[in-house]
Amino acid sequence: MRRTMPAIPVHAPSLAKPIAEAALAALIMLAMANSGKPAEKSIEATVKQVQALATRGPYQPNWTSLQRYKVPQWYMDAKFGIFIHWGVYSVPAFSNEWYPRDMYLVGSPVYKHHLETYGPQSKFGYKEFIPMFQAQKFDAQRWAQLFQEAGAKYVVPVA
């Protein structure tokens, strides 16, 4: 029997447009930050470039197209892989990867921890953690060895 990705839930199409818009906005902001061009021309050029690239691939930015995707056989055979969630939120190392959101939710345990540990969010916001994310003890060789010893067939870093 051939395995494919499960069908996308009925409510998912309503998410397609906001997700696509957010991704496009991120690409535009990145392009603007890295170009010396005036914002309007840079945005217009970036949008055209993204649209041109999107139409070249095997899939179109819609659910009908994405539902034709077939999971690669190597992935189906792998059985075990590791997804690494590692980013700036590992600096406070409290709770989980939702720290940047939860630290601003008044009354949440993360809010309380942040206030007690770093002071008011208005004086020490999430952006203050960015220069502290330096990965001094990161050892790619050791990680690869550990993943191999564990039997992982693939590793996916997730920001």
pLDDT tens string 39-64: 566 778 888 888 887 778 788 878 99
Is 105 within the bounds of a domain? yes
Range of the domain at 134: 78-158
Is 104 within the bounds of a domain? yes
Is 1 within the bounds of a domain? no
Give 8's pLDDT tier (boundaries 50, 70, 90).
very low
Q: Which residue has the higher pLDDT, 3 or 30?
A: 30
CA distance 111 to 121: 8
Is 72 within the bounds of a domain? no
Is 5 within the bounds of a domain? no
Whole-prediction pTM: 0.55
Q: Give residues with Cβ within 8 angstroms of 105, minimum separation 6.
A: 111
Residues 19, 57 within the same domain: yes
Give the pLDDT confidence score for residue 1 in this predicted structure: 43
Q: By three-state DSSP, how is residue 25 classified?
A: helix
Residues 105, 153 within the same domain: yes
Is 7 within the bounds of a domain? no
Residues 138, 83 within the same domain: yes
Residues 61, 89 within the same domain: no
37 has pLDDT over 50: yes
User: Are 113 and 97 contacting, i.e. CB atoms less than 8 angstroms apart?
Assistant: no
Residues 85, 41 within the same domain: no
Is 6 within the bounds of a domain? no
Give the pLDDT confidence score for residue 106 in this predicted structure: 95
Query: How many independent structural domains does the chain possess?
Result: 2
pLDDT tens string 113-156: 999 999 999 999 999 999 999 988 889 899 999 999 999 999 98
